[in-house]
A and B are shown apart, each in its own frame.
Chain A
Amino acid sequence: MMSQHFRNAVVDTALVGSVVLLLLFFYAPIVTLVAFSFTSSRVLTFPIDGFSLQWYGELIRKPDFFPAVINSATVAAVSTILATVLGTAGAIAWIRYRFRFQNLFRVVTFAPLLFPQLLLGVVMLLWFSVLGNWLDFSTGLATVIIGHVVYITPFALVIVAVQVYGFDETLEDAARDAGASRWEVFREITFPLLWPGIFSAAIFAFLLSWGNFYVSYSLSGTARTLPIFVYSGIAVGSSPIYPALATLNFIPALLLVGLAEFMRRRALKRQNAAQPVS
């Protein structure tokens, strides 16, 4: 008979192994892109011929992707601000208040998360086209921003809601007892305590918008964001400039994700340390 110890060891190894396999799976295309960005060959076959930085040079020499970067950055910046503000207000209403039609509010504000992005984009495209016929405008960056806000706000809402959920409201009571006005309570107590959640939500929102393809594809009209630039590029044929572009794309994203998680965890630790043992 197998000993208990041996069996436990097998289970442990299998479980840890599953995480390792998952990470390998998740990073297979990402690592491959980074590796291919340093190829010296024009054809993208493995194993890679030799090391070179020529495709990064090519990117600098032929910066036709640059307008797309500007568009993506504009869209991401504006959508991030709108989605984070709306998401924060929504999260407070979700968790802290009780009001009539609250369930309806919850369903409607959560629903875009359950929508395939393509369908969300199509539904909004139809609306903007009909509206555009009446009011004489066509889809462009502004409609992309609206689409991103609708898609991303539920994500921001959920992230901030987690922070609101762990919120210690006695601190607000204390401030109010000490004579602070409503606005002062919000500025001095509520906002600083929710800030880590809001910050993570903003980072999340920025990256979701920056990398968004589906919603932009439906709503951008003739304007191009970076994912659309890459999509129309790879539809024509693969070229080694895309791995280089991808690698440049990964570095700031990884830093931002790391920073957001670090902030969130530090705040959580502080919160737990500050709370009395119950």
Chain B
Amino acid sequence: MKSQSKTWNDPVLVAAVAPLAIVMLVFFLVPLAMTALLTFQTTQYYRLQWTWDLTIWTEIFSKPHYWTIMLRTVGMALICVVISILIAFPTAYALTTRLKTYSAQIQILIIFAFLTDAVLKTFGWILVLDRQGVANWLLSYLGLGPEAMDILFTPTGTMIGMVYNLAVYPMFTIYLSLARIDRDLVLASYDAGASRIRTFFEVTLPLSRPGLYSGAVLVFVLSLGAFLEPKVLGGGTSPLASELIRQSFETRVNWPLGAALTIVLIVIGALTLALAAAFVFRRTPAARRELA
């Protein structure tokens, strides 16, 4: 499809761009700048003092407590990425190659599960994972577990919830990548005598890289802010960064601290994004061509 060149004198362009640009500027970019600015302020008697000092940053960098939790958050995010990709890839592959007839219906079911109220779904997991819940009943019914498993209120519970809420993202990015692969390339590989397995590893998998990487990055970045899962399913036993942020706002009423912790998480996410972008850029000529 061809696109029209437009200048800023064209009212049509201004009408299409300006409203959204203004909303994002006023309610997204300015707040971000504001948050960064707030980290250099202090609080006294629960009230914000407008100054310019580094109290908050020295506190954050000098207390290992914060970094233990940040590190745990990153660790959980990485595990979540690996599990989500392992779940997402085979299903996306199956949807593009094996289940084409039912692909539409299956996608509707997945989208519906994704769009439903996260609080309710998380509550549903409590009922599943509870000592007297569905999972333990099923295990003992199958004769697998003589004793009830404690999943709820452990990091495992948190992880199940995180994967549950985020695995959809890589599913769709990988699905889109796989669906775009030219079938002729696969057939050509067969013609040249390559086995199915070899074709998969040398044609399909490399071509699905953009979806794989973007899905992984999405899961990583989004899981940095996981809050419901550690709170409701993790039982608060091993808090993640989100809990620190909540406490600094609600319990300690220390905005600069909350702002600084938010900025730390955003920087971690942004660095990951930049790194991944550089990586994809280097590895896939297709991506480079598309961006050019």
Binding site for B on A (CB under 8 A): 8, 11-12, 14-16, 18-19, 22-23, 25-30, 32-33, 36, 44-47, 85-87, 89-90, 92-93, 95-100, 105, 108-109, 111-112, 114-120, 122-127, 129-130, 146-147, 149-150, 153, 157, 165-167, 169, 182, 204, 207-208, 210-211, 213-214, 226-228, 230-231, 234, 238, 242-243, 245-246, 249-250, 253-254, 257-258, 261, 265
Contacts and interface: CB of A to CB of B under 8 A. Distances in A.
A16 B117 contact: no
7 contacts: A16-B99, A26-B109, A46-B133, A92-B16, A127-B30, A149-B27, A211-B118
A85 B19 CA distance: 10
B227 interface: yes
A191 to B, nearest CB: 13
Given A15-B94, A19-B94, A122 B245 contact: yes
Contacts of A89: 15-17, 19-20
Given A16-B98, A26-B113, A98-B5, A46 B23 contact: no
Contacts of B25: 108
Nearest to B168: A26
Per DSSP, are chain B's interface residues mostly helix, strand or loop, or mixed?
Answer: helix
Interface string B2-37: 111111100011011101110111011111101100
Given A26-B113, A122-B245, A246-B120, A86 B3 contact: no
Contacts of A238: 123, 126-127
A98 B3 CA distance: 6
Interface residues of B, number: 90
B5 to A, nearest CB: 5
Contact of B35 (A11, A126, A228): A126
Given A28-B128, A86-B20, A150-B23, 16 more contacts: A22-B87, A22-B110, A26-B113, A45-B132, A86-B23, A96-B3, A115-B221, A120-B28, A149-B27, A208-B115, A211-B115, A213-B117, A230-B117, A249-B120, A257-B108, A261-B108
